[in-house]
Chain A
Amino acid sequence: MPKKSEWTRRAVLRLAWVGIIAASALTIEPLVKYLTSKENRLQSPLVVYNKPLVENSDWQYTAKARVWVKQDSLGVMALVATCTHLGCEVHYYPEKKEWLCPCHASIYDVEGRPLSGPAVKALYRVAVERKPDGALIINSSKHVGMDARL
């Protein structure tokens, strides 16, 4: 008499349940990360920056809404470090004087003009105003031209 297989239909289905539960357990960590992400585009577009700016210094991060500021001989300018390709946050490398996007490797020069990669538009410059007490107010939703200065 042939030996009866231990792989009954019931055993296979039970194994399938173990697989389903294991696969579900693996999705917990990604789900928690996804649901607890605090990225919110509806935050106020206004950024206040009240530290002193040195003329011809490098880009300074305002620590809010991806806005960076800089002052040259013509005045103060502000830039939003969002890649114009698909919206990732680009990183500034002061030693190379370049902006690099971590998602698809778009590279921008120090002024934010595209050098290589999929992005074809320059990083957005945004409007800067000065409050009476000297602090800068940057409206990160109001785009301005490359040579606009305060």
Chain B
Amino acid sequence: MRGQKNFVNHIRPGFVPSRALSVLYTFCLGGLSFLAFVILGMTGLLLMFHYQPGESTGFSSILTIASVIPYGGVIRNLHYWAGQLMVVTVNLHMLRVVWTHAYKPPKQLNWLVGVALLILILFLDFTGYLLIGSQESGAAATVAVNIVGLIPGVGSGLAQMLFGEPSALSGSTLVVYVWHCVALPMVALLLQLYHFWRIRRDGGVRPL
């Protein structure tokens, strides 16, 4: 298994089993999720040049991007729809793994990494929804702060750490912005690289 145990060289394995070339086995749902993640990263970086987080500036800067800045509408919509796609594909990916029993040993660790990634992606989706800064996002932020606040002892501190202090009219805060644009994507990317290497490592090679 030349090149398959090495973290860098696993991208170019010496050989792949022929069963791994069957598209109908995995439907390439993990690959589609990663493609959506790459699109989200690139368009998200571009949106950061014009987006201003904050109660009063969040929604108005989204409007400016979507309707005034050249090509801003395209970039914003690519980001939005890639996000919607990714939530769908990661859930289907998890269902496929359950259906084909791919969570069983020796892949049990990769299953746990995948579950962690699913939670991260859902939280990325939610923070992105808050950053729109509309009234709906304010209501969503209020609900989220209240739910997290119910955790005994650490609740209010955790809510402050995760969401800052969103108003009822806009969920857009600097805290949510940093989670959405920097912290969560970096953790998700590192876990994904480990996730992909682990597939080869566990002998389940199913490249594109």
Contacts and interface: CB of A to CB of B under 8 A. Distances in A.
Nearest to A41: B60
A30 B64 CA distance: 16
Contacts, number: 45
A42 B57 contact: yes
Interface stretch (B17-25, B70-78, B112-120): B70-78
B64 to A, nearest CB: 5
A41 B64 contact: yes
Given A42-B52, A42-B57, A37 B70 contact: yes
B60 A87 contact: yes
Given A34-B69, A34-B71, A86-B67, A41 B46 contact: no
B52 A41 contact: yes
A87 B50 CA distance: 16
Interface string A19-49: 0000000000011011101010110000000
A30 B70 contact: yes
B63 interface: yes
30 contacts: A30-B74, A31-B46, A33-B70, A33-B71, A34-B49, A34-B69, A34-B70, A34-B71, A34-B72, A34-B75, A35-B46, A35-B49, A37-B50, A37-B69, A37-B70, A37-B72, A39-B50, A39-B64, A41-B52, A41-B61, A41-B64, A86-B63, A86-B66, A87-B60, A87-B64, A87-B66, A87-B67, A87-B68, A88-B67, A88-B68
